[in-house]
Structure 1
Protein backbone atom coordinates (compact mmCIF):
# COMPACT_ATOMS: atom_id res chain seq x y z
CA UNK A 1 0.00 0.00 0.00
CA UNK A 2 1.44 3.34 -1.02
CA UNK A 3 0.87 6.58 0.79
CA UNK A 4 0.71 10.02 -0.67
CA UNK A 5 2.40 12.46 1.58
CA UNK A 6 1.14 15.99 1.32
CA UNK A 7 1.95 19.06 3.23
CA UNK A 8 -0.85 21.20 4.63
CA UNK A 9 -1.69 24.20 2.53
CA UNK A 10 -0.61 27.53 3.97
CA UNK A 11 -3.42 29.68 5.29
CA UNK A 12 -4.01 32.56 2.92
CA UNK A 13 -4.67 35.99 4.30
CA UNK A 14 -7.67 38.03 3.27
CA UNK A 15 -7.49 40.49 0.40
CA UNK A 16 -7.63 43.40 2.84
CA UNK A 17 -4.41 42.32 4.52
CA UNK A 18 -2.62 41.49 1.26
CA UNK A 19 -0.07 44.22 0.62
CA UNK A 20 0.28 43.15 -3.02
CA UNK A 21 -3.35 43.89 -3.84
CA UNK A 22 -2.83 47.59 -3.23
CA UNK A 23 0.62 49.09 -3.52
CA UNK A 24 -0.12 51.98 -1.21
CA UNK A 25 -2.88 53.55 0.87
CA UNK A 26 -3.32 56.10 -1.93
CA UNK A 27 -4.08 53.31 -4.40
CA UNK A 28 -6.58 51.84 -1.95
CA UNK A 29 -8.21 55.26 -1.48
CA UNK A 30 -8.37 55.73 -5.25
CA UNK A 31 -9.98 52.31 -5.59
CA UNK A 32 -12.59 53.13 -2.94
CA UNK A 33 -13.33 56.47 -4.60
CA UNK A 34 -13.77 54.82 -8.02
CA UNK A 35 -16.16 52.29 -6.50
CA UNK A 36 -18.14 55.06 -4.78
CA UNK A 37 -18.29 57.01 -8.04
CA UNK A 38 -19.38 53.92 -9.99
CA UNK A 39 -22.11 52.99 -7.51
CA UNK A 40 -23.30 56.60 -7.27
CA UNK A 41 -23.55 56.67 -11.04
CA UNK A 42 -25.60 53.46 -10.99
CA UNK A 43 -27.89 54.91 -8.34
CA UNK A 44 -28.31 58.06 -10.38
CA UNK A 45 -29.19 56.05 -13.50
CA UNK A 46 -31.72 53.95 -11.55
CA UNK A 47 -33.29 57.06 -10.06
CA UNK A 48 -33.48 58.78 -13.47
CA UNK A 49 -35.09 55.73 -15.11
CA UNK A 50 -37.56 55.46 -12.25
CA UNK A 51 -38.50 59.16 -12.40
CA UNK A 52 -38.90 58.98 -16.19
CA UNK A 53 -41.26 56.02 -15.90
CA UNK A 54 -43.24 57.73 -13.14
CA UNK A 55 -43.56 60.96 -15.13
CA UNK A 56 -44.99 59.11 -18.14
CA UNK A 57 -47.37 57.28 -15.83
CA UNK A 58 -48.57 60.58 -14.33
CA UNK A 59 -49.21 61.97 -17.82
CA UNK A 60 -51.15 58.84 -18.80
CA UNK A 61 -53.13 59.04 -15.55
CA UNK A 62 -54.09 62.67 -16.17
CA UNK A 63 -55.03 61.93 -19.78
CA UNK A 64 -57.22 59.01 -18.78
CA UNK A 65 -59.00 61.14 -16.17
CA UNK A 66 -59.82 63.70 -18.87
CA UNK A 67 -61.79 61.19 -20.95
CA UNK A 68 -65.17 62.72 -21.81
CA UNK A 69 -66.63 59.94 -23.97
CA UNK A 70 -70.36 59.80 -23.08
CA UNK A 71 -70.73 56.04 -23.77
CA UNK A 72 -67.84 54.52 -21.85
CA UNK A 73 -66.07 57.49 -20.31
CA UNK A 74 -67.36 56.96 -16.75
CA UNK A 75 -66.26 53.33 -16.63
CA UNK A 76 -62.97 54.18 -18.34
CA UNK A 77 -62.18 56.98 -15.87
CA UNK A 78 -62.97 54.61 -13.01
CA UNK A 79 -60.92 51.58 -14.11
CA UNK A 80 -57.92 52.89 -16.06
CA UNK A 81 -56.72 55.61 -13.65
CA UNK A 82 -57.06 53.22 -10.71
CA UNK A 83 -55.03 50.61 -12.57
CA UNK A 84 -52.40 53.24 -13.36
CA UNK A 85 -52.23 54.26 -9.72
CA UNK A 86 -51.80 50.60 -8.80
CA UNK A 87 -49.08 50.26 -11.44
CA UNK A 88 -47.35 53.33 -9.98
CA UNK A 89 -47.39 51.79 -6.50
CA UNK A 90 -46.14 48.42 -7.75
CA UNK A 91 -43.35 50.00 -9.81
CA UNK A 92 -42.31 52.09 -6.79
CA UNK A 93 -42.19 49.00 -4.61
CA UNK A 94 -40.12 47.24 -7.28
CA UNK A 95 -37.72 50.18 -7.64
CA UNK A 96 -37.05 50.39 -3.90
CA UNK A 97 -34.83 47.27 -3.52
CA UNK A 98 -32.46 48.38 -6.31
CA UNK A 99 -32.18 51.88 -4.92
CA UNK A 100 -31.69 50.56 -1.39
CA UNK A 101 -29.03 48.07 -2.57
CA UNK A 102 -27.06 50.82 -4.31
CA UNK A 103 -27.29 52.94 -1.15
CA UNK A 104 -25.96 50.08 0.99
CA UNK A 105 -23.05 49.45 -1.37
CA UNK A 106 -22.15 53.15 -1.36
CA UNK A 107 -22.40 53.09 2.44
CA UNK A 108 -20.01 50.13 2.51
CA UNK A 109 -17.39 51.87 0.36
CA UNK A 110 -17.69 55.09 2.38
CA UNK A 111 -17.18 53.07 5.55
CA UNK A 112 -14.04 51.45 4.13
CA UNK A 113 -12.77 54.84 2.94
CA UNK A 114 -13.39 56.38 6.33
CA UNK A 115 -11.62 53.49 8.09
CA UNK A 116 -8.64 53.87 5.78
CA UNK A 117 -8.40 57.59 6.42
CA UNK A 118 -8.67 57.13 10.18
CA UNK A 119 -6.34 54.11 10.37
CA UNK A 120 -3.53 55.74 8.42
CA UNK A 121 -2.90 59.05 10.21
CA UNK A 122 -0.51 60.30 7.54
CA UNK A 123 -3.04 59.49 4.83
CA UNK A 124 -5.82 61.18 6.78
CA UNK A 125 -3.79 64.32 7.35
CA UNK A 126 -2.75 64.54 3.71
CA UNK A 127 -6.36 64.00 2.74
CA UNK A 128 -7.67 66.69 5.10
CA UNK A 129 -5.05 69.26 4.12
CA UNK A 130 -5.79 68.88 0.44
CA UNK A 131 -7.89 71.79 -0.86
CA UNK A 132 -10.09 69.49 -2.95
CA UNK A 133 -11.29 67.34 -0.07
CA UNK A 134 -12.67 67.87 3.39
CA UNK A 135 -14.07 65.80 6.24
CA UNK A 136 -17.66 66.19 5.01
CA UNK A 137 -16.86 64.09 1.95
CA UNK A 138 -15.80 61.11 4.00
CA UNK A 139 -18.27 61.50 6.85
CA UNK A 140 -21.31 59.28 7.08
CA UNK A 141 -23.67 62.20 7.54
CA UNK A 142 -22.37 64.03 4.45
CA UNK A 143 -22.96 61.28 1.93
CA UNK A 144 -26.27 60.23 3.52
CA UNK A 145 -27.66 63.71 2.91
CA UNK A 146 -26.55 63.59 -0.72
CA UNK A 147 -28.48 60.35 -1.30
CA UNK A 148 -31.72 61.33 0.46
CA UNK A 149 -33.52 62.28 -2.76
CA UNK A 150 -32.98 58.86 -4.30
CA UNK A 151 -33.93 57.10 -1.08
CA UNK A 152 -37.14 59.07 -0.51
CA UNK A 153 -38.45 59.23 -4.07
CA UNK A 154 -40.12 55.78 -4.22
CA UNK A 155 -41.90 56.39 -0.92
CA UNK A 156 -43.05 59.84 -2.01
CA UNK A 157 -44.47 58.37 -5.22
CA UNK A 158 -46.23 55.59 -3.30
CA UNK A 159 -47.97 58.27 -1.23
CA UNK A 160 -48.67 60.29 -4.37
CA UNK A 161 -50.25 57.29 -6.14
CA UNK A 162 -52.32 56.39 -3.09
CA UNK A 163 -53.62 59.97 -2.99
CA UNK A 164 -54.39 60.02 -6.74
CA UNK A 165 -56.06 56.60 -6.65
CA UNK A 166 -58.18 57.65 -3.67
CA UNK A 167 -59.09 60.91 -5.38
CA UNK A 168 -60.08 59.03 -8.52
CA UNK A 169 -62.40 56.73 -6.56
CA UNK A 170 -63.83 59.65 -4.58
CA UNK A 171 -64.69 61.54 -7.77
CA UNK A 172 -66.35 58.52 -9.36
CA UNK A 173 -68.45 57.45 -6.39
CA UNK A 174 -69.45 60.77 -4.83
CA UNK A 175 -70.02 62.66 -8.09
CA UNK A 176 -68.94 66.05 -6.70
CA UNK A 177 -69.34 67.83 -10.05
CA UNK A 178 -72.80 66.67 -10.93
Structure 2
Protein backbone atom coordinates (compact mmCIF):
# COMPACT_ATOMS: atom_id res chain seq x y z
CA UNK A 1 0.00 0.00 0.00
CA UNK A 2 1.57 3.25 -1.07
CA UNK A 3 0.76 6.62 0.38
CA UNK A 4 1.28 9.98 -1.25
CA UNK A 5 2.80 12.55 1.06
CA UNK A 6 1.86 16.12 0.27
CA UNK A 7 2.56 19.45 1.84
CA UNK A 8 -0.24 20.19 4.32
CA UNK A 9 -0.31 23.88 3.42
CA UNK A 10 -1.00 23.13 -0.23
CA UNK A 11 -3.82 20.69 0.54
CA UNK A 12 -7.00 22.13 -0.97
CA UNK A 13 -9.34 20.26 1.41
CA UNK A 14 -10.18 22.43 4.40
CA UNK A 15 -10.06 21.14 7.97
CA UNK A 16 -13.46 20.19 9.34
CA UNK A 17 -14.89 22.96 11.46
CA UNK A 18 -15.17 21.99 15.10
CA UNK A 19 -18.61 22.42 16.56
CA UNK A 20 -19.16 23.63 20.10
CA UNK A 21 -20.25 20.12 21.02
CA UNK A 22 -16.95 18.69 19.74
CA UNK A 23 -14.98 21.35 21.57
CA UNK A 24 -16.38 20.32 24.94
CA UNK A 25 -14.48 17.65 26.74
CA UNK A 26 -17.52 16.67 28.75
CA UNK A 27 -21.03 16.00 27.55
CA UNK A 28 -22.79 18.04 30.19
CA UNK A 29 -22.15 20.17 33.26
CA UNK A 30 -23.16 17.15 35.35
CA UNK A 31 -20.35 15.13 33.76
CA UNK A 32 -17.92 17.94 34.52
CA UNK A 33 -19.14 18.14 38.13
CA UNK A 34 -18.76 14.37 38.48
CA UNK A 35 -15.22 14.61 37.11
CA UNK A 36 -14.33 17.39 39.56
CA UNK A 37 -15.79 15.40 42.42
CA UNK A 38 -13.78 12.30 41.46
CA UNK A 39 -10.59 14.35 41.27
CA UNK A 40 -11.30 15.91 44.67
CA UNK A 41 -11.95 12.48 46.14
CA UNK A 42 -8.77 11.06 44.59
CA UNK A 43 -6.57 13.91 45.81
CA UNK A 44 -8.18 13.80 49.24
CA UNK A 45 -7.33 10.12 49.52
CA UNK A 46 -3.74 10.88 48.50
CA UNK A 47 -3.56 13.59 51.16
CA UNK A 48 -5.04 11.19 53.70
CA UNK A 49 -2.46 8.50 52.90
CA UNK A 50 0.41 10.99 53.11
CA UNK A 51 -0.86 12.29 56.44
CA UNK A 52 -1.33 8.76 57.79
CA UNK A 53 2.20 7.74 56.82
CA UNK A 54 3.63 10.93 58.29
CA UNK A 55 1.76 10.53 61.59
CA UNK A 56 2.80 6.86 61.85
CA UNK A 57 6.45 7.85 61.42
CA UNK A 58 6.07 10.56 64.04
CA UNK A 59 4.42 8.15 66.47
CA UNK A 60 7.33 5.71 66.19
CA UNK A 61 9.79 8.55 66.72
CA UNK A 62 7.98 9.76 69.83
CA UNK A 63 8.05 6.23 71.27
CA UNK A 64 11.76 5.88 70.47
CA UNK A 65 12.46 9.30 71.98
CA UNK A 66 10.63 8.46 75.22
CA UNK A 67 12.40 5.11 75.44
CA UNK A 68 15.78 6.78 75.00
CA UNK A 69 15.04 9.38 77.65
CA UNK A 70 14.08 6.61 80.10
CA UNK A 71 17.48 4.89 79.78
CA UNK A 72 19.03 4.56 83.25
CA UNK A 73 21.99 2.33 82.44
CA UNK A 74 24.76 3.43 84.87
CA UNK A 75 27.63 2.77 82.43
CA UNK A 76 26.55 4.39 79.17
CA UNK A 77 23.07 5.73 79.89
CA UNK A 78 24.20 9.34 80.42
CA UNK A 79 26.05 9.51 77.09
CA UNK A 80 23.21 7.68 75.33
CA UNK A 81 20.52 10.05 76.62
CA UNK A 82 22.73 13.01 75.74
CA UNK A 83 23.20 12.01 72.09
CA UNK A 84 20.35 9.84 70.83
CA UNK A 85 17.26 11.90 71.83
CA UNK A 86 18.57 15.09 70.16
CA UNK A 87 19.38 13.03 67.04
CA UNK A 88 15.82 11.67 67.06
CA UNK A 89 14.52 15.23 67.43
CA UNK A 90 16.60 16.28 64.41
CA UNK A 91 15.24 13.29 62.49
CA UNK A 92 11.69 14.34 63.42
CA UNK A 93 12.35 17.86 62.12
CA UNK A 94 13.85 16.52 58.88
CA UNK A 95 10.88 14.20 58.33
CA UNK A 96 8.50 17.12 58.96
CA UNK A 97 10.35 19.30 56.47
CA UNK A 98 10.26 16.50 53.88
CA UNK A 99 6.57 15.73 54.45
CA UNK A 100 5.47 19.35 54.08
CA UNK A 101 5.88 19.76 50.27
CA UNK A 102 3.89 16.61 49.45
CA UNK A 103 1.10 17.47 51.85
CA UNK A 104 1.00 21.06 50.62
CA UNK A 105 0.96 19.94 46.96
CA UNK A 106 -2.03 17.68 47.57
CA UNK A 107 -3.77 20.53 49.38
CA UNK A 108 -3.12 22.91 46.47
CA UNK A 109 -4.51 20.41 43.95
CA UNK A 110 -7.63 19.92 46.07
CA UNK A 111 -7.97 23.70 46.27
CA UNK A 112 -7.73 23.90 42.47
CA UNK A 113 -10.48 21.32 41.92
CA UNK A 114 -12.74 22.94 44.50
CA UNK A 115 -12.26 26.26 42.73
CA UNK A 116 -13.17 24.67 39.39
CA UNK A 117 -16.22 23.07 40.99
CA UNK A 118 -17.43 26.33 42.54
CA UNK A 119 -16.89 28.17 39.24
CA UNK A 120 -18.92 25.52 37.43
CA UNK A 121 -21.74 25.78 39.95
CA UNK A 122 -21.80 29.56 39.74
CA UNK A 123 -21.49 29.70 35.93
CA UNK A 124 -24.20 27.13 35.26
CA UNK A 125 -27.34 28.51 36.91
CA UNK A 126 -29.35 25.36 36.26
CA UNK A 127 -26.57 23.20 37.67
CA UNK A 128 -26.22 25.45 40.69
CA UNK A 129 -29.94 25.30 41.43
CA UNK A 130 -30.05 21.54 41.07
CA UNK A 131 -26.98 21.29 43.25
CA UNK A 132 -28.38 23.54 45.98
CA UNK A 133 -31.77 21.82 46.06
CA UNK A 134 -30.28 18.38 46.52
CA UNK A 135 -30.38 17.20 50.15
CA UNK A 136 -27.07 15.36 49.73
CA UNK A 137 -25.12 18.53 49.08
CA UNK A 138 -24.87 21.85 50.82
CA UNK A 139 -23.16 25.10 49.95
CA UNK A 140 -20.61 24.59 52.74
CA UNK A 141 -18.76 21.93 50.73
CA UNK A 142 -18.48 24.05 47.61
CA UNK A 143 -17.08 27.15 49.33
CA UNK A 144 -13.45 27.73 50.18
CA UNK A 145 -14.16 28.08 53.87
CA UNK A 146 -15.80 24.66 54.20
CA UNK A 147 -13.22 22.32 52.77
CA UNK A 148 -10.21 24.33 53.94
CA UNK A 149 -11.22 23.79 57.55
CA UNK A 150 -11.41 20.05 56.97
CA UNK A 151 -7.88 19.95 55.50
CA UNK A 152 -6.17 22.11 58.14
CA UNK A 153 -5.09 19.16 60.29
CA UNK A 154 -3.13 17.62 57.44
CA UNK A 155 -1.60 20.94 56.43
CA UNK A 156 -0.66 22.01 59.95
CA UNK A 157 0.62 18.70 61.31
CA UNK A 158 4.17 18.98 59.84
CA UNK A 159 4.58 22.43 61.38
CA UNK A 160 3.16 21.35 64.72
CA UNK A 161 5.44 18.32 64.88
CA UNK A 162 8.42 20.37 63.70
CA UNK A 163 7.94 22.78 66.62
CA UNK A 164 7.28 19.82 68.94
CA UNK A 165 10.60 18.23 67.95
CA UNK A 166 12.50 21.47 68.42
CA UNK A 167 11.07 21.78 71.93
CA UNK A 168 11.79 18.13 72.76
CA UNK A 169 15.33 18.35 71.41
CA UNK A 170 16.04 21.48 73.46
CA UNK A 171 14.41 19.90 76.52
CA UNK A 172 16.49 16.72 76.23
CA UNK A 173 19.70 18.73 75.99
CA UNK A 174 18.69 20.99 78.89
CA UNK A 175 17.86 18.02 81.14
CA UNK A 176 21.18 16.32 80.42
CA UNK A 177 23.31 19.45 80.73
CA UNK A 178 21.94 20.55 84.11
Query: Normalized against structure 2, the TM-score is what?
Result: 0.89
Counterpart among 57, 61, 69 of residue 57 in structure 1: 61
Distance of 2:111 and 2:8 partners within structure 1: 44
Unpaired runs of 5+ residues, structure 1, are: none
**Secondary structure in structure 1 of the residue aligned to 2:104:** helix
Structure 2, gaps ≥5 residues long:
1-5
Q: What is residue 46 of structure 1 aligned with on the other side?
A: 50
**Mapped partners of 1:120, 1:168: distance in 2:** 59
Residue 6 of structure 1 corresponds to 8
Query: Is structure 2 residue 154 aligned with structure 1 residue 150?
Result: yes
Aligned to 2:74: 70
Aligned to 1:136: 140
Instruction: For 1:27-176, list aligned pairs within 5 A.
Output: 27-174=31-178
Q: How far has the Cα of 1:134 moved from its partner?
A: 1.0
Deviations 1:24-66 (A, max 9, x none): 1000000000000000011011001100010000000000111
Q: How far 1:7 moved relative to its partner?
A: 2.4
Output the CA distance in 2 between the equivalents of 1:42 and 1:5. 48
Report how far residue 124 of structure 1 moved.
Answer: 0.5
Number of aligned residue pairs: 168
What's the CA shift for 1:5? 3.9
Counterpart in the other structure of 1:18:
23
Please report how far the alpha carbon of residue 88 of structure 1 lies from its aligned counterpart in structure 2 after TM superposition: 0.2
Q: Distance in 1 between matches of 2:85 and 2:177?
A: 14
Q: Take 1:142 and 1:119, find their aligned partners in 2: how far apart are those partners?
A: 20
RMSD: 2.1
**2:9 counterpart SS class:** coil
